[in-house]
């Protein structure tokens, strides 16, 4: 039997990458909950972060043992555990489109937190249900469709976001990035055999200390101090959130967030298989759902997910130890209230190069691990994510100017930006990316009935509002669900599907 070690040297690199990724989510939770939602610091530090800690620890440990089991079954020593943490998309979705509207309507942040707990619980239920249909979805969906959506997210929400941050603070961020690229691209051995991730953090910490004393670096504004925070069972708060009636008002947010989490997890499992590690769909999604369930039951409003980036961790040489180490360290930070102390000494810019590298690896893999003739389909699948990212920039710019899309009304749609098309493409962009990429694969293979089927799926999804349908409200853009939500798109997609069906008959072809 092949010996699969609990820890290898390259787990340290993987740990630093996953650790920083999770730490970013915790930073967002603290700053947005205390600043935007006006949650009491005691609630955030004493209940929400410990709830996040138990969900992260459970998933990291479970995925590490899953990797050990796969290694035992295959006799391989190079199996890498699935990366895991808080779902960034749901984090923003639940804060801006569930909890913030409740705060604005009731001026009661505690009620908003309880409604957020119900939203997280709803996502957990959808994730667990998805475990039983995930294999079927993977079987019928081309790999190009799975990976193109991931590549779109990687090149926009991951890579571009951190590229901007790096070049915004070059004195702190470019040297750590250069060290990472030098080690990861060339595989050159650094002095004393120091891992690239650790070397980057050390360099960034030294630079941060130097420039802070010169008044050129600002620490991240997070609470500081150490004090043990226990776990709190929040069953009563979940019930209160349900009785408030607000979760039903925001079901149009909760359902797509849960579905996007399932689809995203399937894409990441496909990404892991493309990198050489085939994990069972049902148990992987079940672990994910149980993690989100634990979060809701112990006070966190934020579902967990299988992270983008398994190929990146695998390329670093990480195995299973990095996952357990991340769970333990992140949990320790949450339970001890140590985030402020960490960010006082380690600049955020010191570690974001690792996340940029992960985005680069994912984007490259989408083209490398699909059949060469399907590269066109991967490119097609990038556009919905580009639209979603572009819309976030537009909305952020308007908010910075003290206004919003709703406030400017038709003025925002009268220019040359094509904002209505951008919003329509952004709504349900993960589904749109996958289905358009799958449609393109079918065309490239001259399987016109299959192409018609994917177009019919687009027509159905737009009809019920899973894609393209939206309403502009004072709180932001909200998805619209029901029957006939985006009829123009439904009709257009149905017309394309019909054309795909009749084309072989009209040309007397035999393409199926």
Q: Distance between alpha carbon 480 and the CA centroid of its chain, in Å?
A: 22
What contacts 48, CB < 8 A, 6 or more positions away? 29, 33, 39, 113, 299, 300, 301
Contact 181, 165 (CB under 8 A): no
Residue found under tokens 């991967």: 378
Question: Which one-letter DSSP state was computed for residue 300?
Answer: -
What contacts 64, CB < 8 A, 6 or more positions away? 81, 320, 321, 323, 324, 327
Contact 486, 493 (CB under 8 A): no
Global model pTM greater than 0.75: no
Sign of the four-CA dihedral 472, 475, 477, 482:
negative
- Per residue of the chain (512 residues), give pLDDT as tens: 468 889 998 898 888 778 877 887 787 788 788 888 889 888 988 899 999 999 999 999 999 999 999 999 998 989 999 999 998 777 877 887 788 888 888 889 999 999 999 999 999 999 999 888 877 877 787 878 878 877 887 788 778 877 888 898 888 889 988 988 888 788 788 887 777 777 888 888 888 878 766 665 555 455 556 667 778 899 898 898 888 777 777 776 787 678 778 877 887 898 899 888 999 989 999 999 999 999 999 999 999 999 877 888 888 889 999 999 999 999 999 998 887 677 677 776 777 777 787 778 778 878 887 888 899 999 999 999 899 888 888 877 887 777 777 777 666 666 666 788 888 998 888 889 889 999 999 999 999 999 999 999 999 999 998 899 988 877 677 778 889 899 999 999 999 999 999 888 776 645 44
Alpha-carbon distances, residue 469 vs 283, 374, 462, 463 (angstroms):
33, 29, 7, 8
Q: Which 3-state string (H, E, C) describes 188-225?
A: CCCHHHCCHHHHHHHHHHHHHHHHHHCCCCCCCCCCCC
- What pLDDT does 309 receive? 77
3-state secondary structure of 85: strand
- Strand runs labelled E in 88-223: none
Contact 423, 489 (CB under 8 A): no
Alpha-carbon distances, residue 166 vs 169, 171, 198, 204, 362 (angstroms):
5, 9, 18, 12, 19
**What is the maximum span of the chain, computed from C-alpha positions, in angstroms?**
77
What is the bridge-based pairing of β-strands 476-479 and 470-473? antiparallel
- What pLDDT does 128 receive? 93
For residue 306, what are the β-bridge partners? Answer: 84
Residue 252: φ, ψ to 5°: -70, -15
Contact 408, 398 (CB under 8 A): yes
- Strand runs labelled E in 99-220: none
Closest-CA residue to 382 (of 417, 429, 445): 429
Per-domain residue ranges for the chain? Answer: 11-143+224-368
Per-residue b/e over 445-480, b at no fewer than 16 CB within 10 Å?
A: bebbebbbbbbbbbbebbbbbbbbbbebeeebbbbe
- Which tokens go with 352? 């974001």
Contact 339, 222 (CB under 8 A): yes
- What pLDDT does 382 receive? 92
Closest-CA residue to 176 (of 16, 350, 27, 325): 350
- Which tokens go with 121? 């619980």
| Residue 234 buriedness (CB in 10 A; 0-12 / 13-18 / 19+) | buried
Residue 144: count of CB within 10 angstroms of its CB: 29
């Amino acid at each position: 039997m092949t010996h699969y070690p609990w820890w290898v040297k390259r787990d340290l690199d993987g740990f630093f990458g996953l650790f920083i990724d999770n730490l970013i989510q915790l930073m967002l939770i603290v700053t947005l909950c205390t600043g935007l939602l006006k949650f009491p610091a005691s609630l955030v530090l004493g209940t929400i972060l410990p709830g996040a800690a138990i969900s992260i620890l459970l998933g990291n440990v479970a995925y590490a043992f899953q990797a050990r089991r796969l290694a035992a079954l295959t006799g391989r020593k190079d199996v890498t555990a699935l990366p895991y943490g808080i779902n960034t998309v749901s984090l923003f979705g639940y804060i801006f489109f569930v909890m913030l509207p409740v705060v604005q309507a009731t001026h009661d942040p505690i009620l908003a937190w309880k409604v957020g707990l119900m939203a997280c619980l709803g996502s957990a239920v959808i994730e667990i249900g998805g475990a039983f249909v995930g294999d079927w979805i993977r079987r019928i969906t081309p790999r190009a469709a799975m990976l193109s959506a991931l590549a779109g997210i990687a090149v926009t929400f991951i890579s571009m976001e951190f590229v901007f941050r790096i070049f915004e603070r070059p004195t702190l961020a470019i040297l750590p990035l250069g060290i990472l690229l030098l080690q990861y691209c060339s595989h050159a051995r650094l002095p004393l055999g120091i891992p690239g991730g650790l070397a980057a953090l050390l360099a960034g910490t030294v630079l941060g200390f130097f420039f802070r004393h010169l008044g050129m670096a600002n620490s991240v504004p997070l609470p500081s101090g150490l004090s043990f925070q226990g776990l709190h069972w929040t069953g009563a708060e979940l019930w209160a959130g349900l009785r408030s009636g607000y979760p039903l008002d925001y079901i149009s947010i909760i359902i797509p967030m849960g579905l996007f989490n399932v689809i995203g997890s399937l894409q990441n499992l496909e990404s892991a298989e493309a990198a050489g590690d085939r994990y069972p769909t049902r148990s992987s999604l079940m672990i994910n759902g149980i993690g989100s369930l634990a979060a809701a039951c112990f006070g966190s409003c934020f579902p967990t997910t299988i992270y983008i980036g398994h190929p990146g961790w695998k390329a670093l040489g990480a195995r299973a130890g990095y996952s357990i180490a991340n769970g333990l360290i992140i949990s320790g930070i949450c339970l001890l209230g140590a985030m402020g102390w960490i960010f006082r000494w380690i600049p955020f810019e010191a570690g974001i190069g690792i996340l940029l590298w992960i985005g680069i690896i994912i984007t490259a893999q989408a083209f490398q691990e699909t059949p060469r003739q399907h590269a066109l389909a991967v490119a097609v699948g990038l556009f919905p994510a580009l639209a979603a990212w572009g819309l976030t920039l537009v909305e952020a710019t308007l908010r910075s100017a003290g206004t919003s899309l709703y406030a400017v009304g038709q003025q925002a749609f009268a220019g040359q930006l094509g904002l209505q098309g951008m919003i329509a493409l952004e709504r349900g962009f993960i589904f749109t990316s996958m289905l358009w990429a799958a449609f393109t694969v079918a065309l490239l293979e001259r399987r016109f009935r299959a192409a018609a089927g994917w177009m019919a799926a687009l027509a159905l999804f737009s009809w019920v509002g899973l894609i393209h349908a939206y309403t502009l409200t004072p709180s932001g853009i909200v998805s619209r669900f029901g029957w006939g939500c985006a009829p123009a798109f439904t009709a257009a997609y149905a017309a394309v599907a019909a054309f795909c069906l009749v084309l072989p008959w009209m040309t007397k072809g035999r393409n199926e």
